[in-house]
Amino acid sequence: MTEEQQVRTELTDRVLTVTLDRPDKLNAFTLPMLQQMIAAFDRADADDEVRAVVVTGAGRAFCAGADLSSGGSTFDYESRAEGFSPEIDAQRDGGGMVALRIFESTKPVIGAINGAAVGVGATMTLPMDVRLASTATRYGFVFARRGIVPEAASSWFLPRLVGISKAVEWAMTGRIFDASEALAGGLVRSVHEPADLLPAAYALAREIADNTAPVSVALARQMMWRGLGADHPMEAHRVDSRAMIERGRSADAMEGVSSFLEKRVAVFPDRVSDGLGGFHPWWPDRPFTPLPDREQS
C-alpha cells in the first residue's frame, strides 16, 4: 500500500472488505479517500467474484468526519478548488458522490461501524443496506454545530431510514449519541462487542454469498431503494412484473427450484456483469446539475 492509499480492499471468499485506512487521523475523510472509495465500488461492481461488500474502518474509528486540517476554510469549496477534478470542485459535495456511488452498487453493502462515525462518517453509511455497530461506536450528525448542513444526500436517506422526527432531531441538535440510541432509532441493525463486530458482518455477508443468486440480489437491492421514491405501488408492480418474467425464465430460476426439490445447495449460473436483463436500468439517468442562484429582486 502506497503512502497515498487511504482505502484498503481485500477479497476473501467472495466478500470484498473495504477499509478506511487513516487510523492515525481517525480515518478522517479526504479527497483521495473519496476517489479511492468510488474506485473500490467500481471494482466490486465489475468483479463477478464479489458477492457482498463489507465497509469498516482501521483502528479505533470508522470515520471521524471531514479532515479539518485546512481550518476554517475546510468547507469552502471554491477556495480549495485547486487539485479537485472538474466533477467535484466548487459544484459537488464529495460525500454525496460517495453516497450516490454506494446507492448505485449492484452488490449488497454491509457497514461494520467500529467506532466514531461523525459527519460524513455517519452520512456515508446511510446508503449501505445494513449497518452493524460496535459498542464503541459513537454517531454524530454534527453539521449544524459546524455551521454547515447535512450532506451526502443524507436529507433524503436519513428520514427514510429512521423517520422524519428522529432524523430532524439528530440533525438539529448535532449531538453525539451512542450505539444503543442508534439501535433504538433504527439506524443500525445490531450492536456487538468490538471483537465480535466484523465476524457478525462477515456472517451476514456469507449468508448472502453462499445461498442467493447474485442477479436476484442485485435486482432486489435496486427495486427496493429505487422504489422509495415511487408515488404509487403500481410503479413497483410494473418493475416486479418485468423482473419476474425475465428471472422466471432464467437458468437461475431453474437451478433455484431444482436444488430445492433435490435438497442440495444451489449453484446459480447467472452473473451480474451480463445478467441483469433488458429492462435494467428502468430508471432515468440523473446527471448532476447545480442549483442556480435566485435572481435578486
Structural domains of the chain in order of their starting residue, each with its CATH number: 7-208 (3.90.226.10), 213-286 (1.10.12.10)
Which pLDDT tens digit goes with each residue over 147-175? 999 999 999 999 999 999 999 999 999 99
DSSP element (H, E) containing 261: helix 251-261
CB atoms within 10 A of CB 280: 17
Strand-pair partners of 63 = 117
- Give the number of residues written for the chain: 297
Distance CA(190)–CA(193), nearest Å, equals 10
Burial, 12: exposed, middle or buried (Cβ in 10 Å; 0-12, 13-18, 19+)?
exposed
Spatial CA neighbour of 248 closest among 272, 270, 222: 270
- CA gap 115, 96 in Å, rounded: 21
Q: Which three three-digit cell numbers place residue 136? A: 464503541
Which segments in the chain show pLDDT lower than 70? 1-3, 68-90, 296-297
pLDDT reported for residue 292: 87
Q: What is the pLDDT of residue 271?
A: 97
Give CA angle at 13 (9, 18), nearest 5°: 20
Query: If you count DSSP H runs as helices and E runs as strands, how many of each does the chain have, helices first?
Result: 10, 10
Q: Confirm if 133 and 116 have CB atoms less than 8 A apart.
A: no
Question: Quick one: which of 256, 237, 136 has its CA closest to 191?
Answer: 136
For residue 206, what is its C-alpha cell? 456469507
Whether residue 89 contacts residue 117, with contact meaning beta carbons closer than 8 Å, is answered with no
Contacts of 236 (CB under 8 A, 6+ apart): 223, 227, 230
- Read off the C-alpha cell for 276: 441483469
